[in-house]
Chain A
């Protein structure tokens, strides 16, 4: 589904820098730094180049989001599912990170930039369309491989980030996820998916331009 992004100032807020509106992509931390992934989760050495290329070739500026799991449970953390991170302490941590990055996002939106969000589908924290779920995970980490499920919902971090933006009166952001944490990773399919999302944004922007030109 494509959400229409709204410019909350109509691009005309007085006193704001007068540069032309930009296209800004908020990207999950690990899309620019695979060192943030859990052990065995990194598919690239550093940047996820297909994502970076797809965004830059369409004129998007990049804004990296903080990694909530790294700052909470460390770089040597265990794998986890949504239910294990769905705790008051982790949500409070995510809210603190959201409050750290939200002023920048608010600044983009108030100056009329188009802002989109690219998360990480399948992630318990950064999933946009899908997250990983297994309500009975816990205790000694001896689960059989790949016994979690993929369910259609946001990860905990994305839920808290969106809540913080809503608290500031900002509109929902058009969003999708790079399908890195969905079990078996299909780079070509993920790339196709992302490009479709980005191209649909272009089409939507084009038709909005046509509408505004109409009498």
Chain B
């Protein structure tokens, strides 16, 4: 894609990591900062609650990406219900669309934020589709 800067990688991210409450902010790495530095886009998951239609819309988008050479990961938060990922609802929606469940990385709020940030960055940097899949799609 001439002149196109897309990074071909993105992360499903819980609302609580995009908009951390004031008290939680100090305990968490700067997730958006790390995602930016690693060249990932964001697919934001809704806050806790019933969001069936919105999750179906998100699953449609994940399927479209996954079927066309994009790498998708999921970032959860240890201690949040369902790790903040709505996994009980989202996983069947993805399977129904023929999408393999994305690799998951859990942020641990009880661990030093700087250390967690490094671990998170290492996960993001280390993940992509196999080279053959990249060559097939990313021209």
Contacts and interface: CB of A to CB of B under 8 A. Distances in A.
Contacts of A99: 53
Interface in B1-45: 1-10, 18-19, 32, 35-36, 38-44
Nearest to A24: B19
A46 B10 contact: yes
A46 B64 contact: no
A104 B51 contact: yes
B64 A47 contact: no
Contacts of A64: 42-44
B57 interface: yes
Contact of A40 (B4, B10, B51): B4
Contact of B4 (A39, A49, A66, A103): A39
B4 A101 contact: no
Interface of A is mostly: mixed
B64 A74 contact: yes
Nearest to B18: A62
A32 to B, nearest CB: 4
Interface residues of B, number: 36
A137 to B, nearest CB: 21
B122 interface: no
Interface string B57-82: 11011001100101000000000000
A34 B36 CA distance: 11
B123 to A, nearest CB: 15
Most buried by A among B4, B38, B68: B4
A67 B61 contact: yes
Interface in A53-97: 56, 61-64, 66-67, 70-71, 74-76, 96-97
B64 A42 contact: no
A42 B138 CA distance: 14
Contacts of A76: 68
A33 interface: yes
B59 to A, nearest CB: 10
A35 B64 contact: no
A33 B68 contact: no
Given A33-B10, A42-B5, A47 B41 contact: yes
Interface residues of A, number: 36
Nearest to B39: A45
A40 B6 CA distance: 9
Interface in A80-124: 96-97, 99-101, 103-104
Contacts of B40: 45-47
B54 A43 contact: no
B46 interface: yes
Interface of B: 1-10, 18-19, 32, 35-36, 38-44, 46-47, 51, 53-54, 56-58, 60-61, 64-65, 68, 70
17 contacts: A32-B41, A35-B7, A35-B9, A35-B41, A37-B6, A46-B9, A46-B35, A47-B42, A62-B18, A64-B42, A66-B61, A67-B61, A70-B61, A70-B64, A76-B68, A103-B51, A104-B51
Given A35-B8, A42-B1, A61-B19, 20 more contacts: A32-B41, A32-B43, A34-B7, A35-B7, A37-B4, A40-B2, A40-B3, A42-B5, A43-B5, A45-B40, A46-B7, A46-B40, A46-B42, A47-B36, A66-B61, A75-B70, A76-B68, A100-B51, A100-B56, A104-B47
